[in-house]
């Protein structure tokens, strides 16, 4: 028998599902996602309230990701962001068995081998975080201010190529957004089209 209570519960569940599938929007609060990192530690985005947070979607087998890591560009960007007091969270949303999927131990080995400098690597094999943010590519970058508002979303730079040569003269949108926020200004470029491999949900 269908009751008003069961209809209310069904409506709430549907609303929650639709809300969870709605991509995050620049200028709006970021979803307060939760995840376990490569060391087994639990994190919520709200844990970093008051600090700027950078989210980087990654797949170590993607040629576009390899371009940035093999050239040291991603590590340099991570280092400069952390030096400014930002939190850098690398997110791996590849599903088990798909390209880029890693265990915690494998993620830690990659971090060490590449001399990467994230604050943490978040394992998102269910794709919950990726879908909450609408992450489409690796890399796909988001910058969130200390109030939890998404201030930048899109590509890491303005050269949508997998060639390392394309890094010459490229404009780093993430660093530009961080510099603007540090100066108390809104990022001059708030949104760009991300490029790279599709996230392997």
Query: Does some domain include residue 61?
Result: yes
How many structural domains compose the chain? 1
Looking at the domain assignment, is residue 63 inside a domain? yes
Q: Is residue 192 part of a domain?
A: yes
pLDDT along the chain (201 residues), means of 10: 33 34 85 97 96 98 98 97 96 98 98 97 98 98 98 98 96 98 96 98 98
Q: Burial-class residue 77 by CB neighbours within 10 Å (0-12, 13-18, 19+).
A: buried
Q: How far apart are CA 157 and CA 131, in angstroms?
A: 22
In a domain, residue 12? The reply is: no
**Of 57, 94, 56, nearest in space to 201 by CA:** 94
Q: Is residue 17 part of a domain?
A: no
Instruction: Say if 1 falls within a structural domain.
Output: no
Give the separation between CA 101 and CA 125, rounded to whole angstroms. Answer: 7
Interatomic CA distance for residues 30 and 147, integer angstroms: 9
Task: Decide the pairing of beta strands 120-123 and 34-37.
Answer: antiparallel
CA distance 10 to 139: 36
Q: How far apart are CA 84 and CA 162, in angstroms?
A: 28
> What is the pLDDT, as a whole number, of residue 22?
61
Using DSSP's 3-state secondary structure scheme, residue 31 falls into coil
* Buried/exposed 139-153: b ≥16 CB within 10 Å, e otherwise: bbbbbbbeebebbbb
Tokens 């490029």 map to which residue?
195
Tokens representing residue 13 in the block: 């569940």
Note the pLDDT of residue 21: 47
Number of H helices, E strands in the chain: 6, 9
**Distance separating alpha carbons of residues 55 and 164, to the nearest angstrom:** 22
The CATH number of whichever domain residue 87 belongs to comes to: 3.40.30.10
What pLDDT score was predicted for residue 140?
98
Indicate the pTM of the whole model. Answer: 0.88
pLDDT value at residue 148: 97
Assigned domain for 106 exists: yes
15 falls within a domain: no
pLDDT at 23: 72
- Give phi and psi for 109, each to the nearest 5: -65, -45
Give the structural domain span for 140.
23-198
Considering only CA atoms, which of 147, 98, 123, 138 is closest in space to residue 38?
Answer: 123
Cis peptide before 139 (omega within 30 of 0): yes
């Amino acid at each position: 028998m269908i009751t008003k209570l069961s209809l209310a519960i069904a409506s709430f569940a549907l609303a929650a599902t639709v809300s969870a599938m709605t991509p995050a929007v620049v200028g709006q609060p970021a979803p307060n996602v939760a995840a376990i990192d490569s060391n087994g530690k639990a994190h919520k985005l709200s844990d970093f309230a008051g600090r700027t947070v950078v989210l980087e979607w990654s797949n170590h087998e993607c040629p576009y990701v390899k371009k940035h890591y093999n050239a040291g560009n991603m590590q340099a960007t991570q280092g400069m962001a952390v030096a400014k007091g930002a939190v850098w969270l690398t997110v791996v949303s590849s599903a088990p068995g798909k390209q880029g999927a890693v265990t915690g131990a494998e993620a830690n080995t990659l971090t060490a081998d590449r001399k990467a400098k994230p604050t943490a690597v978040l394992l998102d094999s269910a794709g919950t975080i990726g879908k909450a943010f609408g992450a489409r590519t690796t890399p796909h970058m988001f910058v969130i201010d200390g109030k939890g508002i998404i201030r930048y979303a899109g590509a890491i730079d303005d050269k949508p190529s997998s060639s390392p040569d394309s890094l010459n003269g490229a404009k780093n949108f993430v660093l530009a957004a961080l510099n603007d926020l540090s100066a108390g200004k809104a990022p001059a470029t708030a949104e760009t089209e991300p490029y790279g491999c599709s996230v392997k949900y």
